Amino acid sequence: MESENETRVSEFILLGLSEDTEVQPLLFSLFLIMYLVTLIGNLLIVLATISDAHLHTPMYFFLANLSFTDVCLTTTTVPKMLVNIQTETKTISYGNCLTQMYFHMVFGALDDFLLTVMAYDRYVAICHPLHYIDIMNPRLCGLLLLASWMLSVLDSLLHGLMVLQLTFCTELEISHFFCEFTQVIQLACSDTFLNELLMHFATGILGGIPLTGILFSYSNIACCILRISSSGGKFKAFSTCGSHLSVLSLFYGTAFGVYLSSAATQNTRTSTIISVMYTVVTPMLNPFIYSLRNKDINDALKIISC
């Protein structure tokens, strides 16, 4: 006789942000607007970077890739949420759930790596300005981007293959608006020790190393800025990495908030709301942060709009 934990599920139930039917139209309108703003804003950054020769530099090369990644990250989750609200369904098939989970991890990790590479780019630009062109050459930029993609894909693929080995019982409700990795494995009937071990190991390696690289880059940047004698020179040097620091604060602040809240409390609703910040709000704000005080981006956008 087949045991219950050998059951192969066909679909999961996404509980979303709220089960109140009166709130659903508001959520649909809000997330549709945020998604469209994210899509338009980030694609404009990509288009501006491609079309303007003045933006064919390492900094804008990585910024364009970050914008593309943000579009993909949001697209893995929000459209399915909007469809579920509009059709008044909460289900997602087993295959679609694992696919969504995989690509969300890919683009989330890629965001992390690109922010690290951008920190290194700012470090070279400020601390080694005379050698910037030689160090940040097209070959190195291409290798850094390729390495970021490869590490993100391999990490997510390993997690995905491990999840495929799990079996699920009758409790199939996910207290989230998308198939978030930690919540999916919590529904498994089979032993998840290896999955959790891999998750903590990957978080330590793929989260700790980029964060260490960012802290190293900005500690050296801070030392270089402090050695500049004029206040105008200090301000100019700091302004070149101010936007990146703002994006870093948003990304890491909300990402850490999700995992710290999930570790400290069983209130999954809190971590779900925080997840909205780094999966939807942060990608939406990034184009505004980078274009707000960036003359090159603004000039390129004006040319596109004409």
CB-CB contact of 112 with 210 (8 Å): yes
Structure tokens at 159: 């997690």
Neighbours of 253 (CB within 10 A): 13
> H or E element: which one contains 13?
strand 11-14
The DSSP call for residue 306 is -
Q: Has residue 172 been placed in a domain? A: yes
Q: Has residue 2 been placed in a domain? A: no
Q: Has residue 3 been placed in a domain? A: no
Which residues span the domain enclosing 241?
Answer: 10-305
* 256: amino acid identity, one letter: F
Q: Has residue 1 been placed in a domain? A: no
Q: Has residue 258 been placed in a domain? A: yes
pTM of this prediction? 0.90
196-208: pLDDT as tens digits: 898 888 888 887 8
Q: Chain-centre distance of CA 265, in angstroms?
A: 23
Residue partners of 70: CB distance under 8 A and separation at least 6: 38, 42, 111, 282, 283, 286
Q: Has residue 290 been placed in a domain? A: yes
Nearest to 220 by CA among 123, 116, 117, 120: 123
56-113: pLDDT as tens digits: 999 999 999 999 999 999 999 999 999 999 998 889 999 999 999 999 999 999 999 9
The three-point CA angle 156-64-287 to 5° equals: 100
Helices 138-164 and 94-127 pack at an angle, to 10 degrees, of 150
Residue 20's pLDDT is: 83
Residue 154's pLDDT is: 95
Quote the number of domains for the chain: 1
Residue 8's pLDDT is: 64
> H or E element: which one contains 204?
helix 193-226
Residue 38's pLDDT is: 95
Q: Has residue 276 been placed in a domain? A: yes
> H or E element: which one contains 14?
strand 11-14
CATH number of the domain enclosing 116: 1.20.1070.10
Nearest to 253 by CA among 281, 233, 226: 281
* 193: amino acid identity, one letter: F
9-45: pLDDT as tens digits: 788 999 888 888 889 999 999 999 999 999 999 999 9
128-154: pLDDT as tens digits: 989 999 999 999 999 999 999 999 999
**What is the average pLDDT value for the chain, to the nearest integer?**
86
